Amino acid sequence: MKKTSNFFFRPSRKRILCRSFFFGAIATAGVISNAFSLSSKADAQTPPPIVNNTEINSYAQAVLAMEPARQNAFEEIKKLIGNGEIPKIVCNDSNSINGLPRKAQDIAVNYCTHSQKIVEDNGLSIDQFNKITLELQNNNMLKRQVYNTLLRLQKTPESP
């Protein structure tokens, strides 16, 4: 007979997959945010951006669309580097890209270019995407909204 505690506290594979995908998506968003912030200015007087449901939906769609390309680029770079540690790659930091082998540089640049297009195709500017990504780091309510939107979008079958 199973223990009751195991029954209630054992995370399901689906739940673990959703959690890991969410955190992977947020990590992707962070990398993209760093990649496209050509000049970030801190302004203490500016209130945090207000994000509406349309922007949350666009943001989540962009993150979901970027994830397969991010995983693919990561795997390709990993194969090229071999057993070495893969450095943090930031698109607007030429040092992070220049430190890679030539083929890996091409993969990273292609990924960054493709991700920028995905963001714009989903109705957000790079600045909007970056602001949402930064806001996610400090706003638990927004984080929950984005998480729920990601889950909803993954469950909803795409219309032809």
pLDDT number for residue 118? 95
- 110, two tokens: 């292609």
Please report, in tens digits, the pLDDT of each residue of the chain (160 residues total): 444 444 444 455 555 545 555 555 565 655 555 555 544 445 555 554 478 999 999 999 999 999 999 899 989 988 888 877 877 877 666 787 888 889 998 998 899 899 999 999 999 998 898 889 889 999 999 999 999 999 999 986 655 5
User: What residues does each domain of the chain span?
Assistant: 17-34+50-155
pLDDT number for residue 150? 94
Contact 100, 77 (CB under 8 A): yes
pTM higher than 0.75: no
Q: Residue 90's closest CA among 38, 134, 46, 126?
A: 38
pLDDT number for residue 132? 92
Contact 24, 67 (CB under 8 A): yes
Question: What distance lies between CA 121 and its chain's CA centroid?
Answer: 16
Q: What is the number of residues in the chain?
A: 160
pLDDT number for residue 8? 43
What are the φ/ψ torsions at residue 136 (nearest 5 degrees)? -60, -30
pLDDT number for residue 133? 86
